[in-house]
Chains A and B, each alone.
Chain A
Amino acid sequence: MKIKDGFELRNICGENIIVSHGIENIDFVKVISLNESAAVVWNNVMGKEFTIDDMVSALMSEYDVDAETAKADCQTLIDDWKRIGFLA
């Protein structure tokens, strides 16, 4: 999977906010914010093809968390990102 072109993480006054640009995202009018750990994952996987394992290792390199918990959290994140329309 891959994060679609045109979605960008910006730090807006301390919040991690995803802004969207590009013709394909012209109708995307939501403002989505990520918490700190989701932002860590985002920054590690954006702009390239990635798997859930890439997300898990990003999370585990930054946080003291066991593999099982990390994987479950990443699956939740994938489901959210799919629902919102971030993933291609």
Chain B
Amino acid sequence: MGTTLQYTVAHHTFRIKFMQECNDERLMPSFPAFKVEPDERQAIFTLTVDDTALPHEKGREIGQFDTGGSNNGVYITADDSYQIMISDLSGRKCCLIQANADFSVATAALRGDNSMRQFGLNNAIMMMYAFASADKDTLLMHASVIRYAGIGYLFLGVSGTGKSTHTANWLKYIEGTDLMNDDNPVVRVIDGKAVVYGSPWSGKTPCYRNIEAPVGGFVQLKQAPYNKIRRMSVIETFASLLPSCSVMKWDRRDYIGVCDTVNHVMQLTNTFFLENLPDEEAVRLSFNTLTSEQQS
């Protein structure tokens, strides 16, 4: 019963199974570029979309977490499985996820109108992806990513720091750049190299591209009344990259997996701290610094 669809994001395969006909891939408008023909390969998770899937028991509350776009109530049951209630910014409950301890198998019960269902399913898949891949040398990061000469550059900072503004200025002032993703790229370590991938998640900017590039560097942004860039120390870099990753702090498998991947990525890349104005000079400064690193 049901319809199973298969997707690949950053070379990780997952399956979405729709149990009811009222739910289908039209709920996933950012995913077509990532859809693949179904085959037998190993998937990092299978998410069954079943609106009748309700919990037998309510777990212990871990906490309520804002992710910027949504609020997630997280509960854990006696057998270490998870329940996550995803609510939209108006507080409407859109999706209940029930997942096993390593997020390899889960159900999602959607509710509400079409936009709530889209919102709930999209966030459910994003969480499943982040938590199922955490121990597989993979990071789902909060960053805006620019590509220049085949290399990807990631700009970090809390929401409102001006990541999208800075990368929009790259597009405006630097010829030959394109936007890989504006909010949630995937970073992996593959054959000893850090690689960044586009994803079906990109915040407010529709930029759902199935593309990849070697990581050329990270830039932590901070607004300032001047432009200044410097290399960050190991400790600063760790304190900048780790909070930029989707991670469950209370879950050792997930948290240590992400810490170890951040460590791998740090060994392979450089991170800079850019205090900046939203202007052309800031872009020239970060462009010159990052691209001269590539040549050296």
Contact = CB atoms under 8 A, between A and B. Distances in A.
B is a partner of A: yes
Interface of A: 8, 10-15, 17, 19-23, 25-26, 29, 31, 33
A13 B250 contact: no
A19 B259 contact: yes
B238 A12 contact: yes
Given A10-B263, A26-B250, A17 B235 contact: yes
Given A12-B262, A23-B62, A31 B235 contact: yes
B241 to A, nearest CB: 10
Contacts, number: 51
23 contacts: A8-B256, A10-B259, A10-B263, A11-B263, A12-B262, A12-B263, A12-B266, A13-B238, A13-B266, A14-B234, A15-B234, A19-B259, A20-B249, A21-B249, A21-B251, A21-B256, A22-B250, A22-B252, A23-B62, A23-B250, A25-B249, A26-B62, A31-B238
A40 to B, nearest CB: 19
SS of B interface (majority): helix
Nearest to A6: B252
A3 to B, nearest CB: 15
A76 B238 CA distance: 26
A17 B255 contact: no
A29 B158 CA distance: 15
A14 B263 CA distance: 10
A45 B114 CA distance: 55
B239 interface: yes
A11 B237 CA distance: 14
B165 to A, nearest CB: 26
A35 B129 CA distance: 36
Given A12-B234, A12-B263, A21-B249, 8 more contacts: A8-B256, A12-B259, A15-B234, A15-B235, A15-B238, A19-B255, A21-B251, A22-B252
Contact of A33 (B235, B251, B252, B262): B235
A14 B250 CA distance: 25
A25 B63 CA distance: 12
Nearest to B255: A21
B259 A13 contact: no
Contacts of A11: 263
Contacts of B263: 10-13
A12 B242 CA distance: 12
B250 to A, nearest CB: 5
A20 B258 CA distance: 12
